[in-house]
């Protein structure tokens, strides 16, 4: 890449490269047709819509360029350093192709300056060969100029070309016609017609707007990119837009609809000495645009090679190679010239224009999206000296994508498919490169923070009738068994939220902190493989009680308060069960629902369903049991399962209990069929545990309610004695849940 001593350009080349492309081929060849087709106000709307993309992009470019040092590659450098090298290379390759094809587009348009020759040729075949001879000849001269003298010579020529362009436009504005002398045209009487052709005309005119970033590719050759890019790009965009407005007015007031529509060089009839000066201006604008593109495209390709965007090491080295005497990317220039020759030989202006538009729109949309995400993410490291507005960047991104599909939906879809394939290929040999996680993460942090603050401020003090679980599970046995993680995933998959805290026993120190970091990484990898929706973390505390006290005070990750605590013990080794029971009162003081998971080594039989056991003594738990079973059933693991309800009541209450449960399931719209509701008469000689062991021994998962007072009295005995069952979730509801 160029050394600092070789950075020789100031702001002027950026501005002149941009303005000469903006006031280029489309302006001379297509603006008259556009005014004739959809009227003065129609083309004004096109200019305004086009600049809804280009102005936000120019401002976004200016902003990003003043935040970090922009090196060689211009737009590619900015995108790749924001989105990551793999995504950046994907967009960069598309950008390079559009820049290389642009050279061909402007050379093909250059041949239209020889209209005075073409009108004398009647034979279509001969006309085609004459056009090809002129365009290929111009391409050859341009090739020799760039290969021999490089960008430095190109910039010198650019100044002369822009001077000719300026003179031709002045002569156009000073000219008049018989039509203009007799015309009563005014802005008040101006027409807006044929709006059904609006986007057809937009597609023809839009490539004129893509010249806005033409000078940015010179970034590697600029003395002060952070100054020259904002000034040159913004000035070129705004001045170009103003000139457009004046040219449209001049065209509408100087020629009839027929002349505007049928004569692509109508400007020649209006300008003073137009027969010579307008073709000369067209030639100057197209050659200057081609010069700009042929200077910029190789530098984009060189930057891609320096970032090892291509799979072959030698290829990257060869493409990135510079000429020693002037630091020109000579090999990248050769590749660009060969691509341009292919499209010059094709010779179809409209076909080439639409391809260019697609890839440029992707680039513009990306730049606006980067600016928006940086605004929204509010990273302290993002401190540009020039600032745009976040809403302008968002508008630019949305309009860019929308316009792509409006111009040509098949081309837009093809462009996205092409770029997806490029990304997958690049990602296959650069797997370790990071993407735009940092930029994206900052935005997510801000969104999450703002949403949580909003929820807190607008939270009603009244008890919410709609309940959903926001559960915390604290466990030391993360690496011994994963039943608690599985349960939390069931809960948080669709309807609820789950936070899993791995308890590290000890005081906070460097050693325990390092252990926590290591353990957290292991757990994240564990849940990542299972596509889990559980938020995992670690907690360092010297005792189970202090860990629980810390955990129940942390805010919920979803913005709502945590409302459920899940404890877990091994049915075959219940050493931690006493400390769970000892802390039940602590958790109950915080008005939490309490769940105690008895983990089994038996494999989960999903097809045998979820069993719920309700007793008359703990009816307050019934609705929570039903809601939790419905929430768990929403997980994909249980998609072929069902829920079965067992309620133990006094013999005299069987009929009433059956109707009550039937009404609850029906009115609550729960996915439970009547045949899966079993009301069991309580018998003095058969304990509830015996019934549960008998009827639920093959259940995939069993939920049983318990009362806090009963647990205090019976302690471990209340949770023991279910040896035939698999995993069991004992539930104590803090209050009666409402099923609506």
More confident residue, 692 or 97: 692
Between 411 and 253, where is the model more confident?
253
For the beta carbon of residue 408, count every other beta carbon within 10 angstroms: 17
Neighbours of 61 (CB within 10 A): 29
Query: Tell me, what's the pLDDT at 351?
Result: 64
- DSSP 8-state assignment for residue 683: B
Q: What is the pLDDT of residues 587-644, one digit of tens each?
A: 988 889 999 999 998 889 999 999 999 887 677 888 899 889 988 988 888 988 899 9
Q: How far apart are CA 740 and CA 730, in angstroms?
A: 24
Q: How far apart are CA 640 and CA 358, in angstroms?
A: 46
Place of tokens 């996205």: 416
> Distance (Å, rounded) from C-alpha 665 to C-alpha 670?
5
Beta bridge partners of 598: 569, 728
- pTM of the predicted protein model: 0.61
Pairing of strands 677-681, 728-732: unpaired
Whole-number pLDDT of residue 511: 93
3-state secondary structure of 384: coil
pLDDT tens profile 159-217: 777 788 889 889 999 988 888 777 777 888 788 888 888 887 887 787 777 766 665 55
pLDDT band at residue 453 under the 50/70/90 scheme: low
Alpha-carbon separation of residue 577 from 545, 573, 582, 660 (angstroms): 13, 9, 9, 35
pLDDT band at 416 (very low <50, low <70, confident <90, very high): confident
The helix or strand, by DSSP H or E, that contains position 539, with its residue range, turns out to be strand 535-541
Contact 545, 585 (CB under 8 A): no
Distance CA 639, CA 606 (A): 9
What number is the average pLDDT over the span 130-144?
75
C-alpha–C-alpha distance, residues 622 and 243, integer Å: 75
Residues in the chain: 740
Among 130-139, 209-218, 676-685, the range scoring the smallest mean pLDDT is: 209-218
In the numeric block, the tokens 């309807």 are attached to: 495
**Please, what are the domains in the chain?**
4-437 (1.20.1740.10), 480-499+544-554+564-732 (no CATH)
- Mean pLDDT, the chain, integer: 81
Q: Lowest-pLDDT range, 133-137, 172-176, 389-393, 610-614?
A: 133-137
Question: Would you place residue 285 in the very low, low, confident or very high pLDDT band (cuts 50, 70, 90)?
Answer: confident
């Amino acid at each position: 890449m160029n050394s600092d001593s070789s950075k020789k350009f100031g702001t002027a080349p950026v501005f002149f490269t941009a303005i000469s492309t903006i006031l280029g081929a489309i302006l001379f060849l297509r603006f008259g047709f556009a005014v004739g087709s959809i009227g003065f106000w129609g083309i004004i709307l096109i200019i305004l819509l086009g600049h809804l993309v280009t102005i936000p992009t120019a401002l976004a470019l200016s902003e990003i360029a003043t935040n970090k040092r922009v090196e060689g590659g211009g737009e590619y450098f900015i995108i790749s350093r924001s989105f990551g090298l793999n995504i950046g290379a994907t967009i960069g390759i598309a950008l390079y192709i559009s820049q290389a094809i642009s050279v061909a587009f402007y050379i093909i348009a250059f041949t239209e300056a020889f209209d005075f020759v073409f009108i004398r040729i009647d034979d279509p075949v001969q006309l085609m060969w004459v056009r090809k001879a002129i365009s290929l000849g111009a391409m050859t001269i341009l090739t020799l100029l760039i290969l021999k003298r490089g960008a430095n010579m190109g910039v010198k020529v650019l100044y002369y070309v822009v001077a000719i362009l300026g003179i031709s436009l002045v002569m156009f504005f000073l000219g008049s016609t018989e039509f203009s002398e007799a015309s009563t045209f005014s802005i008040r009487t101006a027409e807006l017609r044929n709006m059904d052709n609006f986007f057809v005309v937009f597609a023809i005119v839009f490539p004129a707007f893509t010249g806005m970033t033409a000078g940015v590719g010179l970034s590697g050759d600029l003395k002060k990119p952070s100054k020259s890019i904002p000034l040159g790009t913004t000035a070129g965009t705004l001045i170009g837009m103003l000139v457009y407005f004046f040219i449209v007015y001049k065209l509408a007031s100087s020629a009839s609809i027929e002349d505007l529509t049928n004569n692509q060089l109508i400007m020649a009839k209006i300008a003073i000495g137009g027969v010579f000066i307008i073709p000369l201006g067209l030639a100057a604008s197209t050659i200057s645009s081609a010069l700009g593109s042929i200077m910029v495209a190789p530098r984009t390709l060189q930057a891609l090679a320096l970032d090892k965007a291509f799979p072959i090491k030698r290829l990257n080295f060869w493409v990135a190679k510079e000429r020693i005497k002037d630091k020109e990317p000579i090999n990248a220039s050769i590749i660009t010239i060969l691509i341009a020759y292919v499209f010059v030989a094709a010779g179809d202006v409209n076909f080439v224009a639409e391809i260019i538009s697609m890839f440029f729109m992707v680039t513009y949309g990306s730049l606006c999206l980067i600016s928006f995400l940086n605004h929204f993410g509010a990273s302290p490291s993002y401190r540009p000296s020039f600032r745009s507005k976040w809403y302008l960047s968002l508008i630019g991104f949305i309009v860019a994508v929308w316009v792509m599909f409006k111009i040509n939906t098949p081309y837009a879809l093809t462009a996205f498919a092409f770029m997806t394939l490029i990304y997958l290929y690049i990602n296959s040999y650069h797997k370790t490169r990071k993407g735009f996680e940092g930029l994206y993460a900052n935005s997510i942090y801000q969104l999450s923070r703002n949403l949580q603050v909003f929820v807190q401020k607008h939270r009603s003090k009244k008890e919410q009738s709609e309940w959903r679980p926001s559960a915390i599970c604290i466990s030391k046995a993360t690496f011994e068994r994963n039943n608690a993680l599985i349960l939390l995933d069931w809960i948080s998959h669709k309807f609820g939220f789950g936070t899993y805290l791995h308890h590290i026993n000890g005081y906070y120190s460097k050693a325990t902190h390092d252990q926590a970091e290591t353990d957290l990484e292991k757990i994240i990898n564990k849940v990542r493989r299972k596509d889990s929706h559980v938020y995992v973390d670690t907690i360092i505390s010297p005792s189970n009680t202090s860990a629980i006290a810390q955990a129940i005070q942390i805010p919920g990750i979803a913005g709502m308060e945590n409302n459920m605590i899940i404890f877990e013990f091994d049915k075959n080794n219940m050493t931690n069960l006493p400390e769970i029971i000892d802390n039940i009162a602590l958790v109950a003081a915080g008005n939490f629902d309490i769940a105690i998971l008895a983990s089994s080594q038996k494999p989960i039989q999903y097809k045998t369903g979820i069993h719920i056991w309700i007793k008359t003594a703990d009816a307050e738990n019934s609705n929570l049991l039903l809601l939790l079973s419905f929430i768990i059933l929403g997980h994909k693991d249980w998609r072929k399962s069902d829920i079965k309800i067992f309620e133990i009541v006094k013999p005299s209450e069987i009929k009433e209990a059956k109707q009550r449960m039937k009404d609850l399931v029906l009115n609550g719209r729960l996915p439970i069929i009547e045949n899966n509701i079993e009301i069991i008469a309580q018998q003095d000689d058969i304990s509830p545990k015996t019934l549960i062991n008998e009827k639920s021994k093959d259940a995939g998962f069993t939920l049983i309610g318990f009362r806090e007072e009963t647990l205090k009295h019976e302690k471990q005995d209340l949770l023991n004695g279910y040896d035939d069952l698999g995993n069991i979730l004992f539930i104590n509801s803090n209050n009666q849940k409402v099923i609506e």
